[in-house]
Each structure stands twice: as C-alpha cells, then as structure tokens.
Amino acid sequence: MTFQKIKSVLGLSWQIAKAGFKLRNEGSYLGIFWYLLNPILMFTLLFFVFFDRLGSNISQYALYLLMGVIMFNFFQSSTLDSSKVIKENNYLIKSVNFPRESLVFSGVIRNLLSHFFEVVLFFVLALFFKVSLIGIIWYFFILIFFVFFVAGFSLILCCLELFFYDIDNIWNFAVRILWLATPIFYAIEGQTRLFYANLLNPLYYFVSISRDLVIYNKMPELYLVVGSLLFGIGFLLVGLFVFNKLKGKFAELV
Amino acid sequence: MQRIIIENLSKNFRIGFAKNQSVLERFYSFFSGKEPQKTICALDNVCLKVDSGEILGIIGKNGSGKSTLLRVIAGIYKYDAGKLETSGKIVSLINLYIGLSLRLNMKDNIFLTSSLLGMGQEDIKKSFDSIVEFSGLKEFTETKLYQFSMGMLQRLVFSIAIHANPEILLLDEIFEVGDEDFRQKSGNKIVELVKKGASVVLVSHDMEMIKRHCNRVILMDKGKIIINNGYA
C-alpha cells in the first residue's frame, strides 16, 4: 500500500466518520452529552456497588475503574459497529468501488472521537483525586497501539459478517463475557486461573499498562509492554491481510 | 485511445449458495450437506472495446447481464476469466445509493458522496458551488435530504457524479433525470465530458434515449453480447 493510497483511505474514513458523528449529534452539541452518559452511568453504578468489596484493596479505585470502563467502551463500540457495517452499507458496496477499509476505519475514528471526551472525563476525575497528571501523556502512546488492535480486530469481525449474517448478535453476547473476564472492576491479583486466561486477552495488556503508567506512575512489567505491542501490530497486520483477501467478495455476498 | 478493453470475460454467480446465513444455519448446512448449488453464467465470453469520446448504450432484457457488466467494469465485482483493462478514472452511478445520508443536509452529503467517488477535499471545495449550481438546488444546501423529492435526489446525485471528473462514466438507468431543463443540461454536460475524451457506458431500457445519445449500441442476452456493432 503506497503512501498516497493510505492517505486516500484515511481521508475517506475521516469523511465518513465526520458524517457519522454529525448524524449522531443531529446538528446539536448536546449530542456530545450522550457519548459521556454511558460511561458515566456505568462507572457510577459499578463504583457504588463494588467500592466497598472488590475495590477496597485497590488503590485509587475510582480511576482504576474509569480507565477500564472507557477503554473497554471504545473497544466495544468500535467492534459492535464493525460487526454490522457491511449489512448497513450493502447498497453502497454494490454501487461504488471505493476502499472498503474506510467503512471499518471510519467506525474506529468515530468512536475514537467520543473516546477523547471520555479521556477528558478521566482527566477531570484525576484532578479531583489529586493524582499526578504527567502519566496521561503515556496514554496517547498506548492509544496508538490500542487503536491498531481495535482496527485490526474490527476488520476481522467485519469479514466474519460475510459468512455469518447474525455475527453482530453473537458478538454482542461475546463482548459481555469479555467484559466480565477482563479485570475492569476487580483486580486479578491472586486469581491464578483467571490470570492465565487473561494472558490470551489483549484487552488485559492494554488496560493494565495504562493503569500502571497513567494512574500509578510506575513502569509496567515487560510482558505487558511486549504483549501490547505484539497484539497491536499483530492484529492490525492480520486484519488487513484477511480483509484484503476477502474484500473482493463483499459486493457479491451482501 | 481505448478506455475499456474487455476480452473473453466471464463472470459466474453461485445461485443457491446460501448467503446471509446465520451462525446456526451455517453449522446446520455444514453438517447436513443439504445446500443445492447452481452456477449461472452472468457474463459469458464477453468481448468489448470502448473508445475515448464514445457513448456506448447497452440494452437487453432483465437478467441479461447489463448491470453485472457495469459492475465488473467498475471493479465492484471480480471476474472469473478473461481480461479487463481500463484507462482513466471510473465513476459509476448504478443506483441512487451512492452514500447519500437522508438525515444529513445537502452540503454534508456533497462532501460525503464526492469523497466516496474518489474526490479529494480540495477538489470538492473547488467544485462545491458548481455542483450546487448545476443541480439547481441552491436554496436547499442546508436542508436535510429526507425532505427532498426523488427528482431532487437524482439531480443531486447526477451533479455530484459528473463533477467527480470521470474519464469512464457508467450509468445504469440514471441519465435523463429531473425536469426537461435538467435533462437538457445533463445531456449537454455529458457531451462536454465526451468531447474532452471521456467514455460513457449507458444501460437503459429506454430505446428513444439510447438513440438520442449513443454512438453505438450493444444488445445483451443471457450474459452474451448478441449485437456489438449496432449504431443507434
């Protein structure tokens, strides 16, 4: 893929994302409020339910929880969008030959835009709890690889839609299991089986490394850094490979 | 200069190949093996050349392969055998669903659809006034498209497509749209494009329109070109 091609794919993705963003807001800035409502409600509910029990041994539990919630929210929204993107755009796919990747990337960009609002929310909470804000700079580096992972995963999920028409329903269910399996509102320390299971869960790496660097201002363990890099780059490469192999069939199979 | 060269091109579809299956149905089909499959030949050994500056009309019954041929030329469908060479930017108007979003206003839709047709941001900004002017919908730029009539949507789509600088323009039943003035205007614009060296491939059931605009006509039946040198 040449630089020119990447530029045109990302340019188109940005245009589609912008249109999607406007559609969601329907021309009103109040729409932004809806982006924050879901994580705020989820965070508040979990915080009050678990603060005394699961959160009692976790330092800065509010920030620990919010970091997990907003990162998972970005992953969940992007992948759920990609699991139905072909179905929703079938007429367009049959009518115009444009870079199909743009449909998936636009979903990731749109959700990334709303993720930034959530990061601002995190920032405000960190100020409230008087946590050093230097670590937040690290988050933007982590986010690059996290976006790679989410984009790669979304490309794969979008291809599965070709073969399983109701993959969005299945994924909706699977992502709930993943929500419970990932240490978002609890700590994994001392749970050996869950720890080993989470070594196969890319979200565990990204969420843990973000908490270490941003909230606790400490160097994460090496396996977390390596895991994040590998899952980020690996998923993007595999996603692009699978997508490129199958995108020629999209117009026929939708 | 030849803009499109097609040699012995074939395209098959697997009819009965159960697409759009759910996960459970797929597993059932896999284990039961009851999935009758039939291959139909949508394009059978098609040979065609379209010159620069030519307007080619394609006629034929429903299911004769006209739209499939357009989609193959546009690169939307992959072909199974043969050769296809195209030279120049392809813009296809196969139906009205080229990215229009009814909940967005006309301005946003011009930017979105033009991007899908391969235009860069700077080009869109430069062409914006001309697209609006040509569509004759100047007073509706801030209006959301769900308030547009079908005729207005067709005019908008057509205006966007011809401003996307096509060198190969593929039109499927979308040519003479809107009122008499707009038809006249779009006909003139097509002639202008063709004079500059573009090629236009026009699929239609309207023989009068084909006669009015095309230099050459092909007749298709069951995926084959029956008459290739019919001059309108």
Alpha-carbon gap, residue A157 to A178, rounded angstroms: 15
The structure tokens 């010159």 sit at: B51
Query: Helix-strand-coil percent breakdown of chain A, rounded to 5?
Result: 80, 0, 20
Look at B98 and A12 and tell me if their CB atoms are within 8 Å. Answer: no
Q: What is the pLDDT of residue A146?
A: 98
Residue of chain A with shortest Cα separation from B93: A95
Look at B98 and A19 and tell me if their CB atoms are within 8 Å. Answer: no
- Alpha carbon distances (Å) from B184 to A61, B191, B205, B221: 69, 11, 19, 31
Which pLDDT tens digit goes with each residue over B124-152? Answer: 999 999 999 999 999 999 999 999 998 89
Q: What is the pLDDT of residue B36?
A: 64
pTM: 0.89
Beta carbons within 8 Å of B25's beta carbon, 6+ residues apart:
B18
Beta carbons within 8 Å of A29's beta carbon, 6+ residues apart:
none
Residue of chain B with shortest Cα separation from A16: B112
Which pLDDT tens digit goes with each residue over A107-125? Answer: 999 999 999 999 999 999 9
Both tokens of B99, joined, read 């990215």
A contact test, residue of B12, B13, B20 with most A CBs within 10 A = B20
H helices of A164-221, where? 167-181, 192-198, 202-210
| DSSP assignment string, A39-106 | HHHHHHHHHHHHTTTTTTTSTTHHHHHHHHHHHHHHHHHHHHHHTTHHHHTHHHHHH----THHHHHH
ipTM value for the complex? 0.85
Alpha-carbon gap, residue A25 to B86, rounded angstroms: 41
Q: What is the pLDDT of residue A135?
A: 84
Which pLDDT tens digit goes with each residue over A1-53? Answer: 678 888 889 999 999 999 988 887 765 666 777 778 888 898 899 888 888 77
Alpha-carbon gap, residue B171 to B206, rounded angstroms: 13
Residue of chain B with shortest Cα separation from A103: B116
Alpha-carbon gap, residue B223 to A81, rounded angstroms: 37
Q: What is the pLDDT of residue B33?
A: 67
Look at A251 and B121 and tell me if their CB atoms are within 8 Å. Answer: no
Quick one: residue A183, left, alpha or beta (phi over 0 = left, psi -120 to 50 = alpha)? beta
Alpha-carbon gap, residue B193 to B8, rounded angstroms: 29
The answer to whether B226 touches B219, Cβ cutoff 8 Å, is yes
The answer to whether B111 touches A33, Cβ cutoff 8 Å, is no
For chain A, domain boundaries: 3-253
The answer to whether A51 touches A110, Cβ cutoff 8 Å, is no
